[in-house]
Chains A and B, each alone.
Chain A
Amino acid sequence: MTTRLFGEPVQRREDPRLLTGQGRFLDDLGSGALAAAFVRSPHAHARIRDVDVTAALDVDGLIAIYTWEDLPERVGRPLPLLIPHPALTHGRTAYPLARETVRHVGEPVVMVVATDRYLAEDACGLIEVDYEPLKPVVGLEDAVQSGHLVHEDVPGNIGAHLVQEVPSASGLSAGEAIDAAPHTLSFRLDIERSASTPLEGRGVYARWDGADLRVYSSTQTSTSVRMAIAAALGLPLTSVEVIAPDVGGGFGVKIVHPWPEEILVPWAAMLLGREIKWTEDRREHFISSAHERGQVQHVRVGFDDDGRVLGMDVRILHDHGAYTPYGIIVPIITSTQLLGPYKLGAYRVEFSSVYTNTVQVTPYRGAGRPQGVFCMERTMDKIARHLGRDRTEVRAANFIQPDEFPYDQRMTFQDGRPLIYDSGDYPEMLRLVKELIGWDDFERAPNRGIGIGCYVEGTGVGPYEGGHVQITSDGRVHVSTGLTSQGQGHQTVFAQIAATELGVPIERVSVVTGDTRRFGYAVGTFASRAAVMSGNAIALACRKVREKALRIAADALEANPADLEITEGIVHVVGDPKAAVPLSTVAVLANPLRYAFDDEAAKATQFSGQASGGASPDRPPVAEGDEPGLEGRDYYSPIRSTFAAGMHAAVVETDPLTAEIKVLRYAVVHDCGKLINPMIVEGQIHGGVAQGIGGALYERMVYDSHGQLVNASFMDFLMPYATEIPHVETAHLETPSPLNPLGIKGAGEAGVIPVSAVIASAIEDAEGVDIDRMPISPSELFDLRG
């Protein structure tokens, strides 16, 4: 038997390279390239009266300065609105360089190209932009109440408005069900902004050889960047290659595309006939990439004596920042995933997505779910408190039961498809998490609290991904898929899948991702989808290759393919290890040759008598319908998302004097279906929990009333260090997905999703005051104590 690698905690194969500084990130490339830098708006909202570049022209090493007026019509168009939605009635996107108006601090206004970045920044500093400041719109309440507009043609700053409503089984609307309920509560919740803040910012490096354009980008989707560049620059797709080199984290911000720089840098490279590189610096990342999370939620809920929710009505104000390139995916996810593992009587959710003069909002790990889960889990805790019941009992009373799958929530999910959960076992998950944290034996003590949070996460969103697998005559297996990697461990898990499917040692498998030269069709790495989508596509491609290998080997061994198996890279007859042929030879035989360039190849030449089909002079060397080579390509396209779930619990301690908040224990039970590599899944969860603790206790984007982001550095934007993250205890539950061949669900975002809800639950338990805002700092807890 071949070692079955699927499901094993195989060490990450990419780590030795990345941990010893051998990674090749965007800024490691193009050392001889010209450097681009940008003059960015210092105002949140202003009209551009004039741009005076005179003083900058004297900078030694200056190559070019571009404003919007310099851009050709095609390049100067507003950036695409990537995900249109009928409810997004007033979608607006930015120009690559500001045209007439700037709408947030950090919006690019002028592009400078110079021989190095120092000089480019010197020139930027000498360019004088004359602004006429306009009234900025900052904060959600300001957006809907002040009367000032971010976009003159968007009344009330409302970009989108969407209502989804599910009546109760007896036909009551949410409002009617709440009014008729024995108990009702209403309250308001606030969630502040945070951001992906990957260690590596964005970056683009382009070179043009007169006919073809090659672009490297620190992106989560090279195939889509390629199409966007080809469209903007009017190039045939076949003349554009896009490669994602090693990428130092994405967490959502790099799925947005094309960023202005992804169009402008290649355009200037073509125009100047020179290599150009732009590497985002940290301040640029804070003020010009993307943020997320900011919402205000108004909740009304009606429930019975057992805490069963009979009706729930949620009204969300969602802060979209200045532009909506990624549509309204985030508030749609909040609205739908708010439901979690629960079946409600009646549900109505309404959101308004509003413009403000701040950095645009696009998905950040969790993508609207942390807000939705915060809303639902705060609701569950408040119901329990109102009824004087245990918080886990109230949750259990609302769970979808294991025999109710597939469970239709009767809503429309972010993929435009029905929100139908494929599988899960929530009661068992609750039992496990209570056991792990010791819920029933928790010793009550002053300033100590325990909290819990549950979520369901739609993962593996379509439309598709593909995989290509080739076995070469040295016996090596080359796997490629179009989506990109940002550190997830794709080199390891995709190799585990291929090694298991093909029966080869993992050392012989190599994996290439995010390179349009190797695989041109892909969507991208986001929405916890890479393992589900590319994993299944690669498995299907491997199965094609395996079938062909067995067919060719059966010919060579004069055996029946059904009697063959592959172990350690060798095809042999079951029960007869001597009747064997290595895959390397099968690969040789699969490719009839005229020329013998080495001894192995000689076996496949016309006089060897061994080549596939070559034994019979009556058949063509490559049979009709067959192809030379031992390779296969396949795609996986699911009917809809698969739904992973998790439950977290934590014990916190608050300092009675200083109001400091310490997480003493953190427990996670997680179900992402069949595990490909439990160690990597745990790593994903640990990292997610760390980001979640950032969102719960540390991170916020602090805009002042002028729209200045006053904490735009890692000095003042407090990403937690390892010292702030507790040990995370994990347990897994595996309810396979019936939707895909491998039975897997996504795990990338999971860890971050319920953390704010869990920490709020625990602090509330410790302090006895309502925790209705996130994040919460010691200073704020001090204020709440009064």
Chain B
Amino acid sequence: MKPPPFEYHAPRDLGEALEILAGAGPRGKVLAGGQSLIPMLNMRIAAPDHLVDINRLGALSSIDAGPGGVTVGALARHAEVERAAPHPLMVQALRLVAHPVIRNRGTVVGSLVHADPAAELPAVLAVLDGSVRLARRAPGASGLPDGVVTRDVPAGAFFTGPMESAAEPGELAVSAFFPALPPRTGTAFREIARRHGDYALAGVCAVVTLDEDLHISAARVGCVGVGPVPVVVDVTEACERRPAATVPWQRVAGAVRERAEPDGDVHASAAYRLHLIGVLAEQAVKDAAREAAG
């Protein structure tokens, strides 16, 4: 359980980091919090030739909450975001991410790029329709130094498969944007894990908006652990624009189960996960509607 040889880089600014990443191409890997990468290196599951440690890029630690939403820099740790509490659903999700010592090191953007379909934050980004900003080196025009170009990838396009994201070799995810909630909107995160802090067997985050009569006018859920990428289901129609008390919950659960494609593994059967995702969807939508009603 010792990593194979790699070249370690500790760039001091973004330009330097992007230059190294550009040079390394597919043989490069970014080290931020290291909570997934280091174990993978130790188990020799990952064997990059170049490890680009971005921990000296202090400018990437920002957490900016604006009226439109929250922008989280690539070095913002789970624990920092949890404490800053810039977005209710992010806080609800972060409390379910692993254990405090892991949250002290692990980063929100790192979780997104790692793209584990059992992780909470990808589902949050997906249900909120957020995006990830990717930066790469742009060769400067003749005689000028190299520049930086960025592109914003919406969540729906960012998660491309289990542990696979749209970030290309040479790109660095510099931030993620989580849109703010509309008025009269509540959120919730429910999950079932075998042990406290484990990856969930199944999980559901919900965003519910009520109209002035407190009827559900919009409801979306993001599901964890029931497909290769976070599964977002719009259950507005299934809620039938009713107040939470009279929503036909079986229909909501059914709508979610229809979209879920869980696999069985050593911890739970596919049938059990499918059952759970419906139960959790009902609980999460109820919780979110209650929060929206204030």
- Which one of A118, A716, A724, A779 lies within 8 Å of B3 (CB-CB)? A118
Over the window 683-718 of chain A, the binary record of Cβ atoms lying under 8 Å from chain B Cβ atoms (1 yes, 0 no) is 000000000000000101010000000110100101
A777 in the interface, Cβ–Cβ < 8 Å? yes
Tell me whether A282 and B1 are in contact (CB under 8 A): yes
CB-defined contacts of B4 to chain A, threshold 8 Å: 121-122, 125
B196 / chain A contacts, CB cutoff of 8 Å:
721, 723-724
- Contact with A117, one of B2, B43, B198, B201 (Cβ below 8 angstroms): B2
* Nearest-neighbor residue (CB-CB) of A697 within chain B: B194
How many angstroms from the CA of A459 to the CA of B271 in the assembled complex?
Answer: 45
> Taking the complex as formed, is B83 at the interface, i.e. its CB lies under 8 A from any CB of chain A?
no
Contact call A718/B194, Cβ cutoff below 8 A: yes
- Type the 1/0 row for B242-262, where 1 means its CB is closer than 8 Å to any CB of A: 000000000000000000000
B1 touches A711 (CB 8 A): no
Question: With A125-B4, A657-B279 in contact, do A778 and B272 touch (Cβ < 8 Å)?
Answer: yes
Q: Given contacts A122-B5, A283-B1, A657-B279, is CB(A721)–CB(B195) below 8 Å?
A: yes
**Total interface residues on A, using CB and 8 Å?**
29
Cβ A710 vs Cβ B266 within 8 A: yes
Q: Which residues of A contact B271 (CB under 8 A)?
A: 782-783
Are B1 and A779 closer than 8 Å at their CB atoms?
Answer: no
Contact of A723 among B43, B195, B267 (CB under 8 A): B195
Asked if B12 is at the interface of the complex by the 8 Å CB criterion, the answer is no
Bound Cα distance A698, B196 (Å) = 12
Closest residue of chain A to B279, judged by CB?
A657
Contacts of B2 in A (CB 8 A): 117-118, 121
Would you give the shortest CB distance from B91 to chain A, in whole angstroms?
Answer: 20
Q: How far is the CA of A563 from the CA of B4 in the complex (A)?
A: 73
Q: Does B238 contact A (CB under 8 A)?
A: no
Cβ contacts A89-122/B at 8 Å (1 or 0 each): 0000000000000000000000000000110011
CA distance A698 to B44 in the complex (A): 27
Q: Mark A647-689, 1 if CB is under 8 A from B, else 0.
A: 0000000000111100000000000000000000000000000
Report B-chain residues with C-beta under 8 Å of the C-beta of A724: 195-196
Contact A779 B272 (CB under 8 A): yes
**A718 pairs with B195, CB closer than 8 A:** yes
Contact of A627 with B by CB under 8 A: no
Please tell me if the beta carbons of B195 and A777 are within 8 angstroms of each other in the complex: no
| Interface assignment of A390: CB less than 8 Å from any CB of chain B | no
Residue A281, interface by CB 8 Å: yes
Check if A778 sits within 8 Å of B192, measured CB to CB: yes
A779 to B268 alpha-carbon distance, docked (Å): 5
A694–B177 CA distance with the chains assembled, in angstroms: 41
With A698-B195, A718-B195 in contact, do A778 and B268 touch (Cβ < 8 Å)? yes
Q: Chain B residues with Cβ under 8 A from A121's Cβ?
A: 1-2, 4, 44
Answer yes or no: B104 CB below 8 A from chain A CBs.
no
Give Cα A660 to B268, complex, Å: 12
Residues of chain A within 8 A (CB-CB) of B266 are 700, 702, 710-711, 716
Task: For the complex, give the distance between the alpha carbons of A735 and B224 in Å.
Answer: 54
Q: Mark B191-210, 1 if CB is under 8 A from A, else 0.
A: 01011111001000000000
Q: How far is the CB of B202 from chain A (nearest CB, A)?
A: 9
| Chain B proximity of A696: nearest CB distance (Å) | 13
User: Does residue B54 face the partner (Cβ distance < 8 Å to A)?
Assistant: no
Q: Which residues of A contact B268 (CB under 8 A)?
A: 777-779
In the bound complex, CA of A658 to CA of B271 (Å): 12
Is B276 in contact with chain A by the CB < 8 A criterion?
yes
A40 to chain B, nearest CB (A): 13
Question: Which B residues are in CB contact (< 8 Å) with A778?
Answer: 192, 194, 201, 268, 272
B198 to chain A, nearest CB (A): 8
In the complex, A720 has a CB within 8 A of chain B: yes
B194 & A698 in contact (Cβ 8 Å cutoff): yes
Tell me whether B195 and A720 are in contact (CB under 8 A): yes
* Binary CB contact string for chain A from 215 to 245 against chain B (1 if under 8 A, 0 otherwise): 0000000000000000000000000000000
- Cβ of A700: which chain B residues have Cβ within 8 Å of it? 266
- Name B280's closest neighbour in chain A (CB-CB): A658
Given contacts A117-B2, A125-B44, contact A779 B192 (CB under 8 A): no
Q: How far is the CA of A152 from the CA of B46 in the complex (A)?
A: 39
Q: How far is the CA of A718 from the CA of B279 in the complex (A)?
A: 24
- List the B residue with the shortest CB-CB distance to A724: B195
The answer to whether B151 has its CB under 8 Å from any CB of chain A is no
- When distances are taken between beta carbons in the complex, the residues of chain B under 8 Å from A658 are 192, 276, 279
Q: Which residue of A lies closest to B268 (CB)?
A: A779
Q: Which residue of A lies closest to B190 (CB)?
A: A658
Docked CA distance A283–B275 (Å): 33
A783 CA / B276 CA spacing, docked (Å): 13
B1, B5, B44, B275: which has the most chain A beta carbons within 10 Å? B1
Residue of B nearest to A120 (CB): B2
Min distance, Cβ A709 to any Cβ of chain B, angstroms: 10
* A283-B43, A658-B276 known; A783+B195 contact, CB < 8 A: no
- Asked whether B275 lies within 8 Å of A782 as measured between CB atoms, the reply is yes
Q: A118-B2, A778-B192 are in contact. List 16 more A-B contacts (CB 8 A).
A: A118-B3, A121-B2, A122-B4, A122-B5, A283-B1, A657-B279, A658-B192, A711-B266, A718-B194, A718-B195, A718-B198, A723-B195, A777-B268, A779-B269, A779-B272, A783-B271
Question: Which 10 A-B pairs give the minimum distances between C-beta atoms?
Answer: A723-B196, A779-B268, A281-B1, A779-B272, A118-B2, A702-B266, A782-B272, A657-B279, A711-B266, A121-B2
Q: Can you list 10 residue pairs at the A/B interface with Cβ under 8 Å?
A: A121-B44, A659-B272, A698-B195, A711-B266, A713-B43, A718-B267, A721-B195, A779-B201, A779-B272, A782-B275
Binding site for A on B (CB under 8 A): 1-5, 43-44, 192, 194-198, 201, 266-269, 271-272, 275-276, 279
Chain A interface residues (CB < 8 Å from chain B): 117-118, 121-122, 125, 281-283, 657-660, 698, 700, 702, 710-711, 713, 716, 718, 720-721, 723-724, 777-779, 782-783
